[in-house]
Homo-oligomer: A and B are copies of this chain.
Amino acid sequence: MNERIIQLINEKKFSILKEELNEAMAVDIAEAFEELDKKNSIILFRLLSKDLAVDVFSYLSGQQRKDIVDAIHETKLNEIIDELYFDDMIDFLEEMPANVVKKILVNATDEERKLINQFLNYPENSAGSLMTIEYVDLKKEMTVKEALEHIKKTGVDKETIYTCYVLNEKRKLEGIVSLRKLVLLEDNLLVEEIMNEDYISCTTLDDQEEVTLLFKKYDLLTVPVVDKEARLVGIITIDDIVDVIDQENTEDFQKMAAMEPNDEEYLYSNVFSLARRRIVWLALLMVTATLTEMIIGRFESTLAAITVLAASIPMLMDTAGNAGAQSSTLIIRGIALGEVELTDYIKVFWKEFRVSSIVGIALASINLIRMLLLGSEASVAFTVSITLLITIMMAKVVGGTLPIVAKKLRLDPAIMAGPLITTIVDVMALLVYFNIAGVLIL
Contacts and interface: CB of A to CB of B under 8 A. Distances in A.
Interface of A: 23, 25, 27, 148, 151-152, 155-156, 161-162, 179-180, 183-184, 198, 215-219, 221, 238-239, 241-243, 245-246, 249-250, 252-254, 256-259, 265-267, 271-272, 274-275, 278-279, 281-283, 285-287, 289-290, 292-293, 296-297, 300, 303-304, 307-308, 310-315, 317-319, 321-323, 325-326, 328-334, 337, 339-340, 344, 347-348, 351, 354-355, 358-359, 362-363, 366-367, 370, 374, 392, 418-419, 422-423, 426, 430
Contacts of A148: 183
A315 B337 contact: no
Contact of A275 (B219, B271, B355): B355
Given A215-B242, A286-B366, A354-B271, A326 B259 contact: yes
Contacts of A422: 318, 321-322
Nearest to A334: B266
A318 B289 contact: yes
A267 B271 CA distance: 41
Contact of A221 (B221, B313, B358, B430): B221
A293 B367 CA distance: 13
7 cross-chain pairs, A with B, having the tightest CB-CB distances, nearest first: A289-B315, A257-B329, A275-B358, A292-B314, A219-B239, A296-B311, A293-B311
Contacts of A25: 198, 218
B362 A279 contact: yes
Q: Find the residue from A25, A329, A370 having the highest chain B CB count within 10 A.
A: A329
Given A339-B267, A430-B314, A152 B184 contact: yes
Contact of A155 (B180, B292, B303): B180
Contacts of A329: 253-254, 256-257, 259
Q: Find the residue from A245, A313, A330 having the highest chain B CB count within 10 A.
A: A330
Given A246-B216, A318-B423, A279 B179 contact: no
Contact of A307 (B254, B304, B312, B359): B304
A362 to B, nearest CB: 5
Contacts of A27: 217-218
A366 B374 CA distance: 40
Given A180-B161, A253-B333, A329-B257, A313 B315 contact: no
A282 B315 contact: no
A200 to B, nearest CB: 9
B245 A242 contact: yes
A297 B198 CA distance: 70
Contact of A151 (B162, B184, B253, B312): B184
Nearest to A350: B271
Contacts of A355: 271, 274-275, 278
A186 to B, nearest CB: 9
A250 B337 contact: yes
